[in-house]
Amino acid sequence: MIFFLLLFVGIPLLELYFLIQVGAQIGALPTIGLSIFTALLGGALVRLQGFSVLMRVRDAMERNQLPALEMLDGALLLAAGLVLLLPGFVTDVLGFLLLVPGLRRLLIARFVRILPDQPTTDQGPVRTGPRVIEGEYRRERD
């Protein structure tokens, strides 16, 4: 509960503080212009990197591989685009950090490492192979 409080109240207050501080130093209009510039620049960078991820997904699917890591990379790019569109400098820093491919790979590696190897239920591991139902049949003529 406290995490969501910090997320939805703390971050906007921190953003407001930094916007006021920067506005006091360089003025209101340059601060607004800088905020718009970072949103436009971030959107362009997300778009370029998104096309790169899309091509990697397509190549993996052509090789009949599951593009799971590429999809996670795309999800982090989506998160980067969302926080870059929010006005403020703290979210812009977070968004630009998510645009660094090496940092995204580290986050994905950490996420994949904490996932279980096989999905399980209360009865044990889940079967991932084809589902086979054994039975007998007989063909009747019409």
Residues 74-108: tens digit of each pLDDT: 999 999 999 998 889 999 999 999 999 999 999 98
Instruction: Decide if 125 is inside a domain.
Output: no
Q: Is residue 30 part of a domain?
A: yes
- What's the confidence (pLDDT) of residue 138? 81
Residue 108 lies in a domain: yes
Q: Which domain holds residue 26?
A: 12-115
Q: Is residue 1 assigned to a domain?
A: no
Q: Is residue 135 in some structural domain?
A: no
Could you give the angle at the alpha carbon of 87 between the alpha carbons of 81 and 89, nearest 5°?
90
Is 27 a member of any domain? yes
Residue 112 has a pLDDT of 79
Quote the CA–CA distance of 30 and 32 in Å, as a whole number. 5
d(CA 14, CA 86): 13
Alpha helices in the chain (DSSP H): 2-5, 11-26, 28-62, 68-85, 89-98, 101-114
In a domain, 78, yes or no: yes
User: Does residue 137 belong to any structural domain of this protein?
Assistant: no
Q: How many domains does the chain have?
A: 1
Residue 2 confidence (pLDDT): 86
Low-confidence ranges of the chain (pLDDT < 50): none
